A and B are shown apart, each in its own frame.
Chain A
Amino acid sequence: MAEADERTFLGLSDVSISEDIPVEGEITVPMSSHSQDDDYSTLDEPVKETIIRDLKAVGKKFVHVMYPKKSNALLRDWDLWGPLVLCVSLALMLQGGSVDSKEDGGPQFAEVFVIVWFGAVVITLNSKLLGGTISFFQSLCVLGYCVLPLTVGMLVCRLVLLASMGPINFLIRFIVVIAMFAWSTLASTAFLADSQPPNRKALAVYPIFLFYFVISWMILTFTPH
């Protein structure tokens, strides 16, 4: 038996290369020239194209938030441009309340900014500490983008407030804000809940609920002077 094995492997001993012959050659990576082309082209393209490409990415994510399905596009290529634009527009629209009166008015611009960003950071830290598998910036991205329904709600509220004040006015605003709050919470839960360990999902979702509730309260109690 052993002799048969020896004979089978006999020819292989000739294949070995002796030590004094150096092994050399050329290795070409077929994609290298293509990637060089890519860098070259994005550096050289007109600014309008770069901006439009980024805007398209942001717009695509807006669409994903408004029709939340379990797609990975929001999570995979995260960016923080959308949340920044939303936060700034929300903070701007919340101005113009009773700012010049002596009593305590609505939230200042900086307060809205701090609440949105600090709140998002705290929620992300909370979900990571509970054992979530999502990355820090992905979670920030999702939470920021899901402020979009509430920003739309704020816009609607400001338009409704141009009409006369009264209980019907308040009722319309109330319904709109409640609907947008539910939309935001459901959208962000749809994206974030899967990354949590199953026996702690409620613990991770509750702070998101509180976050959007506070933003909704700020929108609902906005009274122009």
Chain B
Amino acid sequence: MATVDDLKFAEFGDSANLLPVPGDDTTVTIEDPGQKPPASRGLPRGAGREEDEELLGNSDSDKTELLAGQKKSSPFWTFEYYQTFFDVDTYQVFDRIKGSMLPIPGRNFVRLYIRSNPDLYGPFWICATLVFAIAISGNFSNFLIHLGDKTFHYVPEFRKVSIAATAIYAYAWLVPLGLWGFLLWRNSKVMSIVSYSFLEIVCVYGYSLFVYIPTAILWIIPQKAVRWVLVMVALGLSGSVLVMTFWPAVRDDNRRVAVATIVTIVLLHTLLSVGCLAYFFDAPELDYAPTLSPAPPLKQATTMVKAI
């Protein structure tokens, strides 16, 4: 017959003493889905650590699917449904903007910052600001370039605002739509671990456009070299964030398809920035200085007449 003392739980001392000395082992602690394992922080991407990260991302995505189902339970014709897409605080928006401009290898923008709370505030207002930034900066830059030119009559060029709006909103919504459809199609063939919802892709693209706002303002400087350096820097920053976000999603696919997808993403991004620079900003190399006013040709004409 067992006494009460026999049934009492025996103390085994501190559990840390029982484990072998950690040494080089990677201890993965899965307490907080958003918390990264301490071993992989700051280290370059190795295959093993990436798997851990992806597994964490996987459990995160499982939970996020449940949470997403719980959150967005209102039917789509009610106002509350759309309020769930604006459930962000000021500091969260700032964090996401910061994360979109600082690509750190190993950090996935979606997993780290969005974390099943994609918002539409950022993409919409960043695109709106970018539209006006490009139109106004382009107008102002043209004004400065043609400043001494007597033949130039300044116009506000308001049409260009609607052109800029169409281009940027189309890029920010149609490209994510195409990419999401493509990823969905490939996911049906290849079981990839990481998959993004449509809103998360829209979020990534929207926030990645933020770096072009200061770039557009700096494009006022009428030096060709400066402008191209700015294009390179902006493209490098936001392009690498995009690449690092989407590489885990296409990595498991056929090698050529994966590389083609990433190249297309970067190419479209480049096309947007170069296209905006070419269309809205006049080339500064043409010399519009007052020294090229019609006076010298007139002088030549009068000397020719005198010679005759």
Contacts and interface: CB of A to CB of B under 8 A. Distances in A.
Interface of A: 97-98, 101, 103-108, 111, 126, 128-131, 199-203, 206-207, 210, 213-214, 217-218, 221-223
A130 B86 contact: yes
B159 A104 contact: yes
Contacts, number: 71
B6 interface: no
B182 interface: no
B157 A104 contact: yes
Interface stretch (B87-95, B218-226, B253-261): B87-95
Contact of A130 (B121, B157, B160): B121
Contacts of A97: 155-156
16 contacts: A103-B153, A103-B157, A104-B159, A105-B156, A105-B158, A106-B155, A126-B86, A129-B82, A199-B89, A202-B90, A203-B89, A203-B90, A207-B128, A210-B128, A221-B154, A222-B156
A191 to B, nearest CB: 20
Most buried by B among A97, A130, A201: A130
A129 B159 contact: no
- Sorted nearest first, the 6 A-B pairs with minimum C-beta distance are A221-B156, A129-B86, A104-B159, A104-B157, A199-B89, A107-B158
A218 B93 contact: no
B155 A129 contact: no
A210 B131 CA distance: 11
B83 A129 contact: yes
A130 to B, nearest CB: 5
B110 interface: no
A178 to B, nearest CB: 15
Given A106-B156, A210-B132, A218-B156, 20 more contacts: A97-B155, A97-B156, A104-B156, A104-B157, A105-B155, A108-B158, A129-B121, A130-B86, A199-B91, A201-B90, A202-B90, A203-B93, A206-B125, A207-B125, A207-B128, A210-B125, A210-B129, A217-B132, A218-B158, A221-B139
Interface of B: 79, 82-83, 85-86, 88-91, 93, 121, 125, 128-129, 132, 136, 139, 153-160
B136 A217 contact: yes
Contacts of B125: 126, 206-207, 210
B125 to A, nearest CB: 6
Contact of B85 (A111, A129, A217): A129
B87 to A, nearest CB: 8
Given A206-B125, A210-B128, A104 B160 contact: yes
Contacts of B139: 221
Given A214-B132, A221-B139, A200 B89 contact: yes
Given A126-B121, A131-B83, A203 B88 contact: yes
B213 to A, nearest CB: 12
A98 B155 contact: yes
A169 to B, nearest CB: 13
A104 B158 contact: yes
A20 B198 CA distance: 70
Contacts of A210: 125, 128-129, 132
B121 A104 contact: no
B95 to A, nearest CB: 13
Contacts of A223: 154-156
Nearest to A127: B86
Given A106-B156, A221-B156, A222-B156, A200 B90 contact: yes
Contacts of B83: 129, 131
A101 B155 contact: yes
A109 to B, nearest CB: 12
A66 B75 CA distance: 43
A202 B83 CA distance: 17
B296 to A, nearest CB: 27
A203 B89 CA distance: 8
A25 to B, nearest CB: 46
Contacts of B154: 221, 223
